[in-house]
Amino acid sequence: MRKWLTQPDFIVERDVARCIGCRVCVRQCANAVHSYDDEDGTILSESDACVGCHRCATLCPTGAIAVKRAPLEFRDNANWTARAIRNVYKQAEGGGVLLAAMGNDQPFPIYWDRMLLNAAQVTNPSIDPLREPMELTTHLGRTPDRVEIEPRPGGGVRLKTRLGPQLKLDIPVMFSAMSYGSISLNASIALARAARAAGTYANTGEGGLHRSIHPYADNMIVQVASGRFGVDADYLNRGAAVEIKIGQGAKPGIGGHLPGEKVDAEVSLTRMIPEGTDALSPAPHHDIYSIEDLKQLVFAIKESTRYEKPVFVKIAAVHNVAAIASGCVHAGADGVVIDGFRGGTGAAPQAIRDHVGIPIELALAAVDTRLREEGIRNHASIIVAGGFRSSADIVKAVAIGADAVYVATAALVAMGCHLCQKCHTGRCNWGIATQDPVLTKRLNPDVAIRRLTNLLRGWSHEIKEMLGGMGINAIESLRGNREHLRGLGLTSGELQALGIKHAGVGA
């Protein structure tokens, strides 16, 4: 059926007074929006296929291209929004599940923007991070309930308690799971190398560990997901830590599907599946139907890694997240990863992405509170993910109770992603979410690494400034210190869920 009801999302305008006919746009658009007409010697821009990725406009040397929201407006209707109408058109034409990518883009409240940080004045002087030491080092993993010391022969004391395996981070930010397959090898390599350079970790996702990333495996968290792609003893032992993925914030309760076209020779080798076959991750792990089952897997992994690697369990932020997280800790997880509903994805049904799960702010507060109440907060670190955009978001998360934050979208944006949300098409013009060799070339890992490490360096300076402002000289001292947060314009129910006071309420 002809898709005649669906109108383009964007309109591409060319300022003919500025256009020099250099055709950079023609060469750069993988969606063939721009084309050169040999007969007329002109460049045509047909907006239909424009995804709003700005590749053309960004590379245009004269700034002659503007990408605008399509001016074709529907009559105002708060219920029947343009998006709702368009979705119906699309489904009426295609009859399928609407696919989307990246995180939930709907205007749900963003609590980070309704929380404000504290600063020290007079009685508790602030600290200048440029003059005084400021500690962002963070350890992830189980810490003992109590520590014992013993005299050291020849004087002094030493730790008697044996500590479990820990990850040491120079900044409490890691790169979240993005599989090779959903993103390009260049992007994967860039994340791994940037993690190494910044003293933190990246996560393989369920894509396996490509051999070109083996040299950086010490900075990789290897994921075990329901499809178990690329998992073997070597894989588990190469990584710095292992993460069992139960759920993903963008699509809780849903499995994954990497179409066969993306499973080329390298992906096939890395995922350990036949070339050209769909990589299907089932919704559940077929061997996990209870906390006890989860515990078996946790310990199977610990056994096969000789208890040398911390094991994390990643769950989506859903309504009962606190109890589930607690179960994970009881199952032996050294860290719980909670992925909020704004967490990204390479592909998810739009209905799920936009309507399932809860905000990470609320989930984090609930989990931290619950683990404290149970007295097991020290048994596992809390790592949160799902739409973190800035250093302030991170500091606020730590103040609520997170040990560290995972970022994925922010990392992609640092590498050039323009959030066009078309990852699932495989035609990423920025060379990130694609396996097309013409497009993957566009991401030079050297450039990407520099941009990623710059971002982390910038954030780390800002985090130090904020800590110093609060009179705190180590990020650890902020963790779970919700007194440093105040809500603004929140209901008492929201304040209670977040465990914070309203702005204007003193200590």
Partner 1 sequence: MKRIFAREEYCLGCRLCEIHCLVKHSKSKRIIKAFRREQDTAAPACRVEESGRVSFALQCRHCEDARCIEACITGAMHRDPTTGAVICDTERCVGCWSCIMVCPAGAVERGRSRQVASKCDLCMGEDTPVCVMHCPNEALVYEER
- The residues of the shown chain that bind partner 1, judged by CB under 8 A, are 18, 20-24, 27-28, 59, 61-62, 437-438, 441-444, 446-447
Beta strand extents in 61-211 (DSSP E only): 65-69, 99-100, 115-117, 138-140, 149-151, 157-159, 167-169, 173-175, 202-203
- Contact between 372 and 329 under an 8 Å Cβ cutoff? The reply is no
Minimum distance from residue 26 beta carbon to partner 1 (Å): 10
Least distance in Å: CB of 438 to partner 1? 5
Q: Which two tokens stand for residue 136?
A: 């962002």
Cβ proximity to partner 1, 22 vs 82, nearer residue: 22
Cβ nearer to partner 1, comparing 61 with 156: 61
* C-alpha–C-alpha distance, residues 245 and 405, integer Å: 16
Q: Which is nearer to partner 1, 290 or 444 (CB)?
A: 444
CA angle 203, 184, 67 (to 5 degrees): 115
Nearest approach, Cβ of residue 266 and partner 1 (Å): 14
427, 346, 344: which is closest to 387 by C-alpha? 344
- The nearest distance, CB 429 to partner 1, in angstroms, is 10
Nearer to partner 1, 27 or 160 (CB): 27
CB of 455 to partner 1, least distance (A): 18
Tell me how far, at minimum, the Cβ of 80 lies from partner 1, in Å: 41
CA distance 252 to 169: 28
Nearer to partner 1, 189 or 405 (CB): 189
Secondary structure letter of residue 180 according to DSSP: B
Q: Which is nearer to partner 1, 328 or 413 (CB)?
A: 413
Least distance to partner 1, CB of residue 28, Å? 6
Shortest gap between Cβ of 18 and partner 1 (angstroms)?
Answer: 6
Beta-bridge partners for 431: none
Q: Closer to partner 1 at the Cβ: 324 or 414?
A: 414
φ/ψ of 252, rounded to 5, equals -60, 140
118-156 b/e (C-beta count within 10 Å ≥ 16 → b):
beeeeeeebbebeeeebebebbbbbbeeeeeeeeeeeee
Nearest CA-CA partner of 100 in 440, 342, 361, 437: 342
Taking the least distance from each CB to partner 1, the nearer of 67 and 498 is: 67
Q: Counting Cβ atoms within 10 Å, is residue 438 exposed (0-12), middle (13-18) or buried (19+)?
A: exposed
Q: What phi and psi values does residue 33 have, to the nearest 5 degrees?
A: -65, -45
Characterise 306 by phi-psi region: left (phi > 0), alpha (psi -120 to 50), beta (else).
left
